Amino acid sequence: MPLPKWTKGFFDKLLEKISRPKTPRKALGDAGENAAAKFLKKRGLRIVKRNYRSGRDEIDIIAADADTLVFVEVKTRSADALVPGYFAAVQKRKKAAIRRCAKAYMRALPRAPKSFRYDVVEVRFGTSADTSAGKSDPDIFHYENVRF
């Protein structure tokens, strides 16, 4: 029995999305998130979830710091970027999206956390050419308990 016509287009688009190579920007962001997770683990935080989505909103890392649930936004830049990570990149709209996503996550928990906070981790690699070649170790700046 032949498949309905709509399935061909659907599966073609799905295959294209899955097999599409990463853009340099996406690769840089992924490298930054990996570096941030490693950094947070070294500082004693336990990574609970990565890339949590609620609707269109996303939180890069959810971690636990003792009894505190930590929602982490990761901002990754190369040193030759025109705009620094934290101060310029986490705007009002992004903060609101992170708050909505955090509330959705906490509503889904069986038990509310004793406390929670928002952190920003800024990951700054060397030049973008070094980063794409995987040559440089990043500078990492951790801003705890940021007002969102």
Where are the extended beta strands (E) located within 18-127? Answer: 46-54, 57-65, 68-78, 115-125
Segments of the chain scoring below 50 in pLDDT? 133
Set out the domains of the chain in order of their start, with CATH numbers. Answer: 24-143 (3.40.1350.10)
CB 63 within 8 A of CB 44: no
pLDDT score, position 80: 76
CB 31 within 8 A of CB 131: yes
How far is it, in rounded angstroms, from Cα 16 to Cα 95? 32
DSSP 9-28: HHHHHHHHHHHPPPPHHHHH
pTM of the prediction?
0.79
Give the CA angle between residues 55, 25, 129 to the nearest 5°. 165
Whole-angstrom CA distances from 52 to 34, 39, 45, 132 are 15, 19, 17, 26
Nearest residue to 133 via CA among 34, 39, 27: 27
**CB within 8 Å of 71: residues ≥ 6 apart:** 59, 61, 62, 98, 101, 102, 105, 116, 117, 118, 119
